Amino acid sequence: MIDWKLIATHFKDLMRVTVSVREGAISSTLLLKRLRSGSQKNATYTAFREVGRVIRTVQLLRFLSDAPLRGRVTAATNKVEAFNGFSDWVRFGQRGTVTRNDPVEQEKDVKFTSLLANLLIFHNTLDIADVVRQLEAEGEVIDPLDLAQISPYLTERVNRFGVYSTHEIGITPEDYDTRLDVDFSVLDDDQVPAA
């Protein structure tokens, strides 16, 4: 149960803290440190915890009663999970786990995996754009809804172990034309599918 009386009793303190954070008089990090010290005994902390419970309850009720919101949240969650699965696939060497206890090495592992995953996504996107251009050149009409169904998290044509050719090292690639002649403005937010 939410303790409404506690919120009402400490409402002025809650507002004072909120205004201080908004005006930049105190950083949210410092505030959290101060509130956490002796957390259960700190009345402002417990009042903020009750406000947090109110906000969480309102958000859950909104989520349960709003079908379009549920669809958007599910689509966003699916996209994040698809990226995480793709990153795990990219990071095949250690079965997707960070094997070192050194925080610096862990950060490097995560950043290098993200970099490699983003490079593959960029490569896949360029390949998709080439196919779209080829289809348009052949007279095909590209429906933005169909194009929105394509995920850049493709793995079928990627050789993770690589094919190493050194005779092309000195060749500078041509600039890539990133423009596509597809009108995406016809898509609504709820029409863009999950990846």
Distance CA 125, CA 181 (A): 15
Distance CA 89, CA 124 (A): 15
Per-residue DSSP letters for 98-139? -----HHHHHHHHHHHHHHHHHHHHHHHHHHHHHHHHHHHTT
Give 80-89 pLDDT, tens digit per residue.
888 888 888 8
Which amino acid, residue 175? D
Residue 55 has pLDDT above 90, yes or no: yes
Residue 61: per-residue pLDDT: 93
Q: Reduce the DSSP state of residue 153 to 3 states and report it.
A: coil
What tens digit of pLDDT does each residue of 120-151 get?
Answer: 999 899 988 999 999 999 998 888 888 888 88
* End-to-end CA, the chain: 39
Q: What is the pTM of this model?
A: 0.53
Q: What is the pLDDT of residue 86?
A: 86
pLDDT of residue 51: 92
pLDDT score, position 65: 93
Dump pLDDT digits (tens) for 10-19: 999 889 888 8
| 57-81 CB burial, b ≥16 within 10 A, e <16 | eeeeeeeeeeeeeeeeeebeeebee
State pLDDT tens for residues 66-99. 999 888 888 888 888 888 888 888 877 666 566 6
pLDDT reported for residue 138? 93
| Average model confidence (pLDDT) across the chain | 82
The H or E element spanning position 81 is helix 67-90
For residue 189, pLDDT beyond 70: no
Reference 116, options 151, 149, 160; nearest CA is: 160
